[in-house]
Amino acid sequence: MSGMRKAVVCLVLLVFASCLRAEDYVYVLGPADTLTAVPDDAVAGWQIAADGVRLSLVSGKTLLVPEARKVVRECPVRLPRFSFFRYNDKHNDQLFQDAVASAADLQKDTVRLQVVQIGRYLTPTFGLTDSDAEAWIGLQRQESKVSRRNMAVPATYTLGRRCWRRLSIEDDGQGLTVYRYVPFGREVTVEVDFPTTSSTLAKVPCINITTKTGAVPLSKTSFISGTISIQGGIFPDMPTTDILIKGRGNSSWSTSSRSKNSYHFKFSEKQKPLGMKAGKHWVLLGNKQTGSMLCNAVGHKLSALAGCDAPCHIVPVELYINGTYRGSYNLTEKVGLKNNSVDLDDESCAAMLELDTYDDVAIFPDNAYRVSTKIHDPDFDEEDSLLNITMQDILYDWQTALETLRYGSDDECLNHFDLQSLVSFLMVNDLCINFEFVHPKSVFLYSENVTDADAFSVAPDPTPWHMGPTWDWDWAFGYRQTSATYFENCKEKSFFGSLMNKVNGLWYDLRYRHPAVDEAYFRLWHSFIGDGRLDELCSYVVDFYNYAAPSFRHNVQSFCSEKDNTAYVTLSRRAASWLRGRANYIYDSLTPYDIPTPDADPQPEPIIIDTPDGIGNLAEKTPSSFGKAGCEWFDINGRSVPFGGGRKGIFINSDGRKVLVP
């Protein structure tokens, strides 16, 4: 046999083994439109018996398909396709522009999309051409807008129906053959290109701000006018646009023009820098503490994964002011109401508070816990004529919530707090060991209606206070001021126990007073670790660093006095390990609660009989042309079969036709 023919035979055998098509199966039809597809080259023959269809396999075993009554060689059903497939920003927290598969791609067996986001976990939105069709990846049924996975490698979807199945014959790696049923249908592979991982495309956006005065903003209270333009790289550009800008920050703020300060800027009308959700107010975070340039990105990503209210989004940017490079910054939303942060249908009776000790605005200590409180929104100086509430309404509602928490019964204590947002908020601060939380500082919460407070009352239910959005992570992740290190310390320390030392009664009561919090806390941790969100967080840390790395290196060359020579490549890897270790430590220390295991999609076990009862319709498997003169055949090892045949086994000719001779 020539080398060319041998190569052809080997190639064809490889194709049959690894990529079976619709015509490569024997189809067994049963009641209620059930269909069992068995690889054609695994079947020696079949017979229809009283208990169903029995297929004799090449391996010598017999497969019984109960209650089946018919066997066909061509696929008897139409295989569904995707009617649409996209990744929406609504279901993917770091995605700012939808990625949509073209109509032409949907007709192919491979769908390719480009997705501009940091991180490679995605939740798709899709539809199928048949109303009763379903999508599977392996044995896992996929739900539109729900199922999430790492798309760093392509994913192959099986598009079929629940009553369709395919016999899979696999080697278990130890010399044993494993027979199992898997979903059957059209196989479509989805491939995603992430420009943030490209060495040629992954350029961090560049923001240019020019002030009217030609000076760097040195006030936190007074805006100065200027313009902004953005070269987005893989994100959208922004032409020169008017803004107002001022400084922001508390302990991180400096009046030195050489300091890497943070800034708050606003547009006259809502804008979408880098394609983010439209808003007037935006923040440029300087991350000036040594080693902190990963902290806000990781903290806000965790907040999104944990289900916190209105999590912020982070994009690393290069900042220039009046032509001078200021360093690597984060662009993010400004926390508040009436913007692109907390999105409420009706804000007329809503309020947002900030728990903080800095006296840049009026502070109102409460009577229950003596927590320093500031009214973050609304701004009574600017919006008094548009409001349906007063400052007294807000403070009374908040005071009522705290008094009920501290002095109410166990059943009443959480009447004024939203349980889910509270649990998520506690969880992210626990995992991150956020010491800003302890003072407390930079802690935000809001209520949609502050006019219905009623102390110790359970009916009607008052409008609850929602914890969040989360903010400020540069004193977290085991930070120690003496060594300026992150992701090293306190990995196995109790945040609400030894680290807080029970000094803050508010957080202790919110965490431990009501048993519902303890159970909800365990359930959140259980799902966070079990459904892949911890894996996504650890993957995101590395992906964020890889994208931002050129900007981090450039930051050392900035005009500003704060230099940061941290080896972020090492820190990013250490961060992923620290986060995983801390998460597992916290989970292991929690009081466990019973969590029902969700019912898995039923996957019937194939009925394999060791001793076959008979081969049945063997003629359908043995072509009459086999062995005749002028028809050259080869065995499975590529050896030519002499004229006349006379051998048993699987045979194939050079144009791909195969037979089995028992």
pLDDT at residue number 632: 56
Question: Rounded distance, CA 220 to CA 245, Å?
Answer: 9
Domain contains 531? yes
Question: Rounded distance, CA 444 to CA 451, Å?
Answer: 19
Same domain, 325 and 461: yes
Residue 381 confidence class, pLDDT cut points 50, 70, 90: confident
Domain contains 596? no
Summarize the confidence of residues 251-280 as an average pLDDT.
94
Name the token pair of 645: 């045949």
Same domain, 87 and 135: yes
Question: Rounded distance, CA 538 to CA 431, Å?
Answer: 13
DSSP reduced 3-state for 556: coil
Residues spanned by the domain of 278: 206-589
Same domain, 641 and 542: no
pLDDT higher than threshold 90 for residue 201: no
Residue 410 confidence class, pLDDT cut points 50, 70, 90: confident
Summarize the confidence of residues 149-164 as an average pLDDT.
97
Domain contains 595? no
Summarize the confidence of residues 603-630 as an average pLDDT.
53
pLDDT digits (tens, 9 = 90+) for 40-69: 999 999 999 999 999 999 999 999 999 999
Same domain, 160 and 12: no
Name the token pair of 568: 């972020």
pLDDT higher than threshold 80 for residue 638: no
pLDDT higher than threshold 70 for residue 657: no
pLDDT higher than threshold 70 for residue 457: no
Same domain, 89 and 72: no
Same domain, 247 and 326: yes
**Structural domain ending residue among the three candidates 150, 167, 197:** 197
pLDDT at residue number 461: 65
Summarize the confidence of residues 124-144 as an average pLDDT.
96
Domain contains 374? yes
Residue 520 confidence class, pLDDT cut points 50, 70, 90: very high
Domain contains 594? no
DSSP for 181-214, written as a single string: EEEEEEEEEEEEE-GGG-TTT-PPPEEEEEETTS
Summarize the confidence of residues 70-96 as an average pLDDT.
96
Give me the percent of the chain exceeding a pLDDT of 90.
Answer: 69
Summarize the confidence of residues 400-426 as an average pLDDT.
94
Average pLDDT of the chain to the nearest whole number: 87
Bridge pairing between strands 155-171 and 35-39: parallel
Same domain, 329 and 274: yes
Domain contains 183? yes
**Structural domain ending residue among the three candidates 589, 620, 652:** 589
Of the candidate ranges 106-110, 329-333, 620-624, the one whose mean pLDDT is the lowest? 620-624
Question: Rounded distance, CA 77 to CA 380, Å?
Answer: 67
pLDDT at residue number 550: 96
pLDDT at residue number 625: 39
Same domain, 89 and 49: no
pLDDT higher than threshold 60 for residue 285: yes
Same domain, 282 and 405: yes
Domain contains 444? yes
What is the value of pTM for the model shown? 0.86
Higher-scoring residue by pLDDT: 436, 27: 27
Same domain, 567 and 652: no
Question: Rounded distance, CA 614 to CA 62, Å?
Answer: 9
CA dist 475 → 289, 328, 381, 436, 573 (Å)? 9, 19, 32, 6, 19
Element (H, E) at 134: strand 134-137
pLDDT at residue number 619: 33
Question: Rounded distance, CA 93 to CA 310, Å?
Answer: 10
Residue 554 confidence class, pLDDT cut points 50, 70, 90: very high
pLDDT higher than threshold 70 for residue 618: no
pLDDT higher than threshold 70 for residue 24: yes
Summarize the confidence of residues 289-317 as an average pLDDT.
97
**Structural domain ending residue among the three candidates 157, 174, 197:** 197
How many domains are contained in the chain? 3
Question: Rounded distance, CA 248 to CA 265, Å?
Answer: 10
CA dist 204 → 15, 197, 201, 241, 604 (Å)? 43, 11, 9, 20, 51
Q: Nearest CA to 46 among 59, 56, 38, 37? A: 56
Same domain, 170 and 237: no
* Residue 460 preceded by cis peptide, ω within 30: yes
pLDDT higher than threshold 90 for residue 190: yes
Same domain, 122 and 270: no
pLDDT higher than threshold 60 for residue 536: yes
Residue 12 confidence class, pLDDT cut points 50, 70, 90: very low
Question: Rounded distance, CA 141 to CA 183, Å?
Answer: 9
pLDDT digits (tens, 9 = 90+) for 569-589: 999 999 999 999 999 999 999
pLDDT at residue number 173: 82
Q: Nearest CA to 508 among 417, 500, 127, 516? A: 500
pLDDT digits (tens, 9 = 90+) for 522-535: 999 999 999 999 99
pLDDT higher than threshold 90 for residue 4: no
pLDDT higher than threshold 50 for residue 17: no
* Contacting residues for 21 by C-beta, under 8 A, at least 6 apart: none
Residue 620 confidence class, pLDDT cut points 50, 70, 90: very low
Summarize the confidence of residues 129-147 as an average pLDDT.
96
pLDDT at residue number 48: 92
Domain contains 645? yes
pLDDT digits (tens, 9 = 90+) for 173-183: 888 899 999 99
